[in-house]
Amino acid sequence: MQITLRVVLHFLLLFYVHSVDGHSIGAILDYGSRLGREEKVAMEIAIGDIKNLTNEGLVLLPRDSNGDPLLAASAAMTLINEHHAKALVGLGTWQEASFVAEIGRRAQVPVLSFTSTCPPAAPLRWPFLVPIAHSQVFQVKAIAAIIRSWYWRKVSIVYEDIEYTATTIIPYLADALGDANIDSRVALSSYDSSFIQELDMLRSRPFRVFIVHTSIELATRLFAEANKMGMMSDGYVWITTDAITSKLDLVNSSVIDSMQGVLGVKNYVKPSAQINDFRISFQKRYHSEYPEEEKREPQLSALTAYDAVRAIARAINQKSRSGGHQKIQNHTLSGPLSVAISEDGWSLLDGIKQTNFTGLSGEFFFQEGDFSPSTTFQIVNLVGKSYRELGFWLSDCGFSKSSERKEGNETSMKILGQVYWPGGPWSVPKGWVSLTNEQPLRVAVPARAVFPEFVRVKNVKNETSAEGFSIDVFKEILKRLPYSLPYEFHPFNCSYDSFLEQNQMQNYDILVGDTSISSGRYHYVEFSQPYTASGLVMVVLMKSDLTDKAWIFLKPFCGSMWALTAIVSIYNGMVVWMIERSYNMEFQGSFWNQSAALLWLSFTTLLSPGEKLHSNLSRLAMLVWLFVALVLTSNYTAILSSMLTARRLEPSLVHVDALKSSNAVVGCNNGSVVGKYLEEVLGFQHKNIKKINSGEEYYQALKTGHIKAAFLRIPYANLLVSKYCSELISTGQIFHVGGLGFVFPKGSPLLSDFSESILDIFESGKLEKLENAMHANYSCSNVGVDATEVDRLSPTSFWGLFLLTVGVSTVVLVLYGLFSHKNELKWHEDLKEEQKTNAMELLSAATNHKQNTQIHPIQIHPIEK
């Protein structure tokens, strides 16, 4: 009887519970944390707002898990079996979510979790698990953009040693940063209160940029220990992910004190009137329930909790409108872990994932089953008692001072303004320390160089300094680095090969000098981008070339240029001759006389106006032609002068084959890889290769004939020819060998920065100015490789001038033809009129003469004897 009564009471209780809270939502939260309490208050406010708007009988059933996964699982079974909860919300940690997700799978009840560290494959195993925290994946792009902004090459990742962490954000961080740029990955246990060993290992590494992704509780202990060990000082960089940064408002001032200078990335929610109304209601209700706690702004998880309740209510309401009805769960599983299976769980799950609205936390929707990603992150900097809001990183716009999207792409965080770095300095940390654990950079320089113009060591008052072209390039690079880099010079006396093969670079950070880049040396060290032209040329003694001086006057112009000049001259002369021949009797006469006059007029005008001109048209044509002739003669004179100088400076021997066949001795730098190249590649005998120790020795050896040619890299050849330009010349083909570069030990963090700066110096033209400054001390600063041949002039350089003079002459000729034709007609008419008048005058004169004439007799007088 008692058993029967108990069963009846049980079914009556189930019916009562179902009738009262048939639309119940279970909330499993950690009341022991501020976040859990905020989430509880936010969901209660959501239930009240929904009832006021829709008058629906939605009931919230909150339960305290105290952060314990077992308590969370027990609460989930109670809510499903006894209260027929339609959905479960909360579960801020993955440990809790994974336990409850299994119960939700069996009961077919949606489980909405606030955890941001859900493994990507979790929804496949637990289809009713619905993570509604913004994915951590997208913030890694913001973190990578911060790293690139300050040119940090190597970083270390510090994360909590939990299974899901290694499969969530860490692989995405490695992909965004590049595996080659990750120095180390350090997993910290949340159960170990001491991190001395792990932090000491990080401190012993040369790289000082750390990305921290842990819970806020673990991060609190981590930074406190790091502060004690001096790792929050000058030179260190700490960047925290949203898992820590978004919860900084919940920690006390002592935690902030230990995190001074930390950069943080956090999800950003744009302020709105809806959020402002919620904030007022939230603070009023939260303070009434927890009056002992200080007033603070609601966290993002509280806003998400409010939106989660709204999403569930929308899904239930949509299902009710579509004709669905509430069904009682049936116990189909027996045993201690039996749960009631919801018959409408699948439809409710689909309704939740089809929800799309703008909530307090932003856009609330699902894309291909995943919750809407956050695309705007706020960059903060911990300073003083709180943090400074530096700006934002937007997924499609880069860095910005405003959260509004605009055109353009700011890839550098520098636009956000000054950052307060750990230790208090305002200068940007370089992200690493010297490999020798000394503050100044240890710079190795050769004490003796073949060409001291590249590097020269000085010792003044027991202080070592260096100067020269290579040193100037090194200092120019330091100016362009985004961080300060103090240094000190350390000279060495052996050759480059000996220095590198003895692995001496382990004691230095960089070798600055005229070091040749070669494949063999890569076994020991690494090289920067070459800062000089690459190539090997031959320098030889010059001889005077007098073989073709008789015809050198023809060389400034090419054949077509001479022909075109002659044709245009004759044409212009003909135009002037045709116009002037009616005024000048010398232009008339026989055919041969006129031909001679035409040619004389054509070519004398190249040097002077020639004959006096009477017509304005001929004067115009001659004026333009004299201008063209002036340009042509001045260029001819300049080119001829250059050729008379350059042609005198011809090499005495220009072919490698001729050198080898004659067993000529050639020279190269002592301790250089060029000797090996001459022997193995060009085929010179070892006995015919002489090692030279200085530029002066090269000059004397060539002048005295001890060597017939010197094989030098292009910068050396240019320098040597600049010093002895009257006697030496570089000639022949360029052999492809490496240029000069700076040397670094294997794995040096400086290598990428230096190579990038060298390219910048090349592109800005600064390197060319440094080279010119090095050559300016000598008389022939512009002499380079194969500078013996001057370009000859062709019609392509003067077609505009020729077209101008031919055009003007043609126009003048046409005008002359028109005017001369009209003048000739008028002349004929005047001539006829004049002849007629003359005839009348003659006739009248004859008549008058006849009338006035008298006949006198002829008297004959005798001649006396």
User: Are 108 and 208 within one domain?
Assistant: no
Token digits of residue 615: 């017509």
User: Are 183 and 224 within one domain?
Assistant: yes
Q: What one-character DSSP code corresponds to residue 605? A: T
In a domain, 387, yes or no: yes
pLDDT of amino acid 263: 96
Q: How many CB atoms lie within 10 A of CB 73?
A: 20
User: Are 575 and 590 within one domain?
Assistant: yes
Dihedral sign for Cα atoms in the order 103, 107, 113, 116: positive
Question: Contact at 8 Å (CB) between 445 and 473?
Answer: no
Pairwise CA distance, residues 170 & 823, whole Å: 100
Token digits of residue 270: 């744009």
- Name the burial class of residue 493, with classes exposed (0-12), middle (13-18) and buried (19+) by CB atoms within 10 angstroms of its CB: exposed
Secondary structure element (H or E) that encloses residue 614, with its range? none
In a domain, 114, yes or no: yes
What's the CATH number where 158 sits?
A: 3.40.50.2300
User: Are 93 and 231 within one domain?
Assistant: no
Minimal CA–CA distance to 255: which of 160, 67, 161, 382? 382
Minimal CA–CA distance to 713: which of 702, 705, 721? 721
Q: Please state, in angstroms and as integers, the Cα–Cα distance from residue 741 to each residue in 77, 133, 515, following that order.
A: 70, 51, 6
pLDDT of amino acid 783: 42
Domain membership of residue 590 as a residue range: 549-646
Pairwise CA distance, residues 62 & 27, whole Å: 4
Question: Contact at 8 Å (CB) between 483 and 430?
Answer: yes
User: Are 149 and 260 within one domain?
Assistant: yes
Domain limit, last residue, from 646, 672, 690: 646
In a domain, 292, yes or no: yes
Question: Contact at 8 Å (CB) between 541 and 727?
Answer: yes
In a domain, 352, yes or no: yes
User: Are 168 and 222 within one domain?
Assistant: yes
Q: Please state, in angstroms and as integers, the Cα–Cα distance from residue 820 to each residue in 434, 588, 808, 827, following that order.
A: 93, 17, 18, 10
Token digits of residue 15: 């019916």
Question: Contact at 8 Å (CB) between 469 and 456?
Answer: no
- Name the burial class of residue 581, with classes exposed (0-12), middle (13-18) and buried (19+) by CB atoms within 10 angstroms of its CB: middle
In a domain, 555, yes or no: yes
Minimal CA–CA distance to 802: which of 557, 552, 553, 555? 557
User: Are 147 and 199 within one domain?
Assistant: yes
User: Are 383 and 264 within one domain?
Assistant: yes
Q: Which amino acid is at 633?
A: T
Question: Contact at 8 Å (CB) between 481 and 429?
Answer: no
User: Are 194 and 246 within one domain?
Assistant: yes
Number of domains comprising the chain: 3
User: Are 358 and 394 within one domain?
Assistant: no
Pairwise CA distance, residues 264 & 381, whole Å: 6
Q: Which amino acid is at 391?
A: G
Which residue bears the tokens 């003079």? 805
In a domain, 30, yes or no: yes
Domain limit, last residue, from 594, 627, 646: 646
Q: Please state, in angstroms and as integers, the Cα–Cα distance from residue 410 to each residue in 148, 149, 182, 264, 618, following that order.
A: 12, 10, 24, 19, 67
Pairwise CA distance, residues 205 & 184, whole Å: 9
Domain limit, last residue, from 416, 440, 474: 416
Q: Which amino acid is at 372?
A: S
User: Are 631 and 555 within one domain?
Assistant: yes
List the alpha helices (DSSP H) in 357-397: none
In a domain, 205, yes or no: yes
Pick out the chain residues at pLDDT < 50: 1-21, 324-334, 437, 546-547, 647-650, 781-790, 824, 827-828, 855, 858, 863-865
User: Are 175 and 290 within one domain?
Assistant: no
pLDDT of amino acid 830: 56
In a domain, 265, yes or no: yes
List the alpha helices (DSSP H) in 322-380: 345-353
